[in-house]
Chain A
Amino acid sequence: MSTVVLLVITGLGLGALYFLVASGLSLIYGLMGVLNLAHGSFLTISAFLGWEVGRRVSDGTWLGLAVSALVGIAVGAIVAALTEYLLIRRLYERHIEQALVTVGLSLASVALFEGIWGTDPIYTEKPDWLGQTTVILGAKIPNDRFLLIACALLVLGGIVLFLRRTRYGLIIRAGVENRSMVTALGIDVRRSFTLVFAIGGAAAGLGGVLSSVYYGYVSAHLGSTLLIFAFIVTVIGGLGSLTGAAIASVLVAVLQQFANFYLGGTGDLVVVIALAAVLLVRPRGLLGKVA
């Protein structure tokens, strides 16, 4: 029983990281049709800069972590918005080229990060409480899982509120459904593209700082690993669906944990099989719109 609880809560924590990356991917694809393969780089640069600033302010304390998180969110949002403004926008409606540009940016940025911070992981300090465990139903749960879950829930709630209750949220939701009709109404939908990139980048930035807490290190490859699973989550959840991404994040991460524990470390394989099964049975994903 305690093993199951541990696996579920750890799965939820990992799912939280997936969601922070997948939410942006899904929104960006839903609104603009852009597969953003540079999304992992937004995460990595945020993790590095968040760590650099946080440790100088106060290393291994809550204050330091809060500063890291704020820096990570800001860096993620700014880098993502700049990417949209300087690169993606120039290739409007040319989806292959957009994907290629993001691949290139991703490869180049990983090389740049390795040049600056080296190829080895750099181990990070975190507040003591996050390194301790809490006993729930007999299972010793590392406390950082709770932080991840709480942050992902806040981000999910925040984005849902933004989409449901603001003017731009309405434009974005309508644009995901029918971009050309939004244009026919006289709204220049491209204005909301930069905003969606910034929101997605901010979520990924927070994800970067939190993943350095979860893994205990920062590295130039932090983003690439998470990006692969975030893509799987986005496809399983249904491209363009935020709720779908949230549900799929939890399903994929929990499944991964169980397979790793009970099926001899086959978590990644099981996830890819799940992806194939969803694509065969329900190609639009759990909550995706009909293509």
Chain B
Amino acid sequence: MTNEAMLSLEHIGLRIGGARILHDVSLEVPPGEMLGVIGPNGAGKTTLFNVISGVIRPTGGRVAIDGADVTRVPIHRRAATGLGRTFQTSSLFPGLSARENVRLAAQAHLGGATSVFRIPRASDDASRRALDCLAEVGLEHRADAGAAELAHGEKRKLEIAMLIATDPKVILLDEPMAGVSSGDVPALTEVIRGLHRGGRTVLMVEHHMEVVLGLVDRVAVMHHGELLAVDTPEAVMANPTVQSAYLGEAV
């Protein structure tokens, strides 16, 4: 195992009851890589994200972020290890404004002065950071709108702004394009590209193949809880095993 990998999975296995959900998944993601995770429904893509982010503890194997073993680190401490993620279902606070959503994330990241009665002024670090992050995804004009009032594409952008606010080294995006209208796809694609340009390592589960192939450096293909192949988009698309998994032919 090299020490250079930003995220490393070693022989991850997950059994629930008698069912084998994940089997022997090993993967090394170097710093700054954008990796697409694809596969048919039920292949274990979201489960793998849940293992990486600590929602589920694997029954076998090891997860390391930037060289540190985090397999047993509880979920609320994973953020401090440099991990951030979005969920398939919305991870926003609908009753708070866009600014407050991001502020909460920024505040979680900055920590520091936690005096109970300290009034957050518009100029303090967390507020400034919140506005910067909103600007990075192009939502600064919607800062005071309630999160519930945002259009679907804007909500996805807001989730990414919250991610940026926690300054993660590794980002997991679970179907960022789900439910986004085709008109919003290019803008959101640019936002994701921007995330990556900042030198962050990004893993993305996405069914929208055009988006995946246009963005990622490598593609990991999952099928029945196993990793079939990890390679460049071109090579993966030409891989007969992958083709048969997708087309349902006998391997």
Contacts and interface: CB of A to CB of B under 8 A. Distances in A.
Contacts of B96: 170, 173-174, 177
Contact of A187 (B76, B119, B162): B76
Nearest to A165: B119
B42 interface: no
B210 to A, nearest CB: 29
A2 interface: no
A174 B100 CA distance: 9
Interface in A168-204: 168, 170-171, 173-174, 177-178, 181-188, 195
A166 interface: yes
A158 to B, nearest CB: 11
Contact of A184 (B91, B114, B115): B91
**Of A167, A177, A183, most B-chain CB atoms within 10 Å:** A167
Given A185-B108, A186-B109, A195 B93 contact: no
B105 interface: yes
B118 A184 contact: no
B57 to A, nearest CB: 15
B64 interface: no
B77 A186 contact: yes
A20 B96 CA distance: 25
Contacts of A173: 93, 95-96, 100
Contacts of B218: none
A92 interface: no
Contacts of B166: 185-186
Interface of B: 53, 75-80, 85, 91-96, 100, 103-105, 107-109, 114-120, 126, 162, 166
Interface of A: 162, 165-168, 170-171, 173-174, 177-178, 181-188, 195, 289
